[in-house]
Amino acid sequence: MLRGVRGAITVEQNDREQILSRTAELLTELVNSNNIKTEDIGAVIFASTPDLPAAFPAAAARRIGWDSVPLFGTQEIDNPDGVPLCIRVLILLNTDAPQAAIQHAYLYGAARLRPDLATQE
């Protein structure tokens, strides 16, 4: 069965290292809270706000060893009601876990997007 595991995280500035380290932090949180094995990942979609051109967030997945996982990156539309300096991720996961068991993560300023699913502030 295919499930979507969602998450988002913010950074303080358009800085390559911060984008990559925060994205890795988000991925690690999602992996740990859902017991994700790399071989169960079908694909991962990354989206960043237009104010983050310094790095491709998907590069963080390669840094943590996701060499065989299909990755796709995109840029969100410039939305005046959106959360700035934000990176979102959608992991397409092959799992037998029921939808209700999936743990999503919204970290730092991204908690504004889904306060009901925020895991930390």
pLDDT in tens, 55-95: 999 999 999 999 999 999 999 998 888 899 999 999 999 99
Nearest to 8 by CA among 82, 98, 79: 82
Domains and CATH numbers, the chain: 2-112 (3.30.1330.40)
Pairing outcome for strands 41-48 and 86-94: antiparallel
Res 121 pLDDT > 50? no
pLDDT in tens, 7-42: 999 999 999 999 999 999 999 999 999 999 999 999
Annotated binding-site residues for prephenate read: 6, 88, 106
Count CB neighbours of 65 within 10 A.
9
Annotated binding-site residues read: 6, 88, 106
Q: What torsion do the CA atoms of 27, 30, 31, 37 make, to the nearest 10 degrees?
A: -100
The span from the first CA to the last CA of the chain, in angstroms, equals 31
Q: What is the DSSP letter of 109?
A: G
* pTM as predicted: 0.93
